[in-house]
Amino acid sequence: MDESGFREYLKKMGKKPHVVDGLIHQVGLYEVFLSAIHVELEVAGRDEIQTYVETLSTDEAKKKMRGLALYYTFTGNRTLAQLTGAIREQGIAGTRKAFKLRKFRGVDQGAVLKLEKAGIATVEDMMAAGKTPVNHKLLSNQTGVAPHIILELVKLSDLSRLGGVKAVRARLYYDAGLDTPDKFADWEPEELRRMLIGFVERTGFDGIAPLPREIRNAIETARKLPVRIHY
């Protein structure tokens, strides 16, 4: 990070010293995240930002994207400035849209299209329509989507309740055998992270293992979640 240049830029914008320090700190936190995946701030792009956002709550994303949006504006990276700004605006609006099924990695897009035509486009729609095995069968008959794909999408949707777990994370957890939230409850964070690191390395999964804080949050959330789906 060009801290001195960014600091001067913020001062010229009229930001107060404590605000300047906070914004620089936000960019610094992103640098720490990037260092854990061996990526430099100068070369990090859209994928790294989206992965970072998946580790944050809505409130955290709203706050931390402010510093990044300003930093990328300062450096002249219009694409990433717009991306981080849009993420922040979503948080400010308090209307994090329900995650769309089509955004999950590795899902059958043809099946998703059939579900969308039946009015089931988001994780909330999927969980409402697929609460029980009987519902899964009815939905399969209604849409022509195979039962095993219905079950996969229900499980991915259920996993999405674990805070930052979305497109890539849900797929990683599902593929690694953590296909429902209750399977997190008996794990200790360090042990689970080691298992996932091993899975990524062994299978060549296209993504990184969760960071320690993300794992802790997922386990803590899983232990508190009410049951919404009966398998």
Q: Are 6 and 74 in contact (CB under 8 A)?
A: yes
Phi-psi region for residue 164, left (φ > 0), alpha (ψ -120 to 50) or beta?
alpha
Torsion on CA atoms 114, 120, 121, 123, rounded to nearest 10: -130
E-only strand ranges, 88-209: none
Q: Are 166 and 103 in contact (CB under 8 A)?
A: yes
Q: Is 40 helix (H, G, I), strand (E, B) or coil?
A: coil
d(CA 32, CA 49): 13
Phi-psi region for residue 76, left (φ > 0), alpha (ψ -120 to 50) or beta?
left
Q: Which of 175, 198, 176, 188 is nearest to 218 (CA)?
A: 188
Q: What is the pTM of this model?
A: 0.60
Alpha carbons within 13 angstroms on the beta-carbon side of residue 102 total 10
DSSP assignment of 11-31:
HHTT--HHHHHHHHHHHHHHH
pLDDT tens series, the chain, 231 aa: 888 888 888 888 888 888 888 888 888 888 888 888 888 888 888 878 878 877 776 667 777 888 888 888 888 888 888 877 777 766 544 444 578 899 999 999 999 999 999 999 999 899 989 999 999 999 999 999 999 999 999 999 999 888 766 788 899 999 999 999 999 988 999 999 999 999 999 999 988 888 888 888 888 888 888 888 998
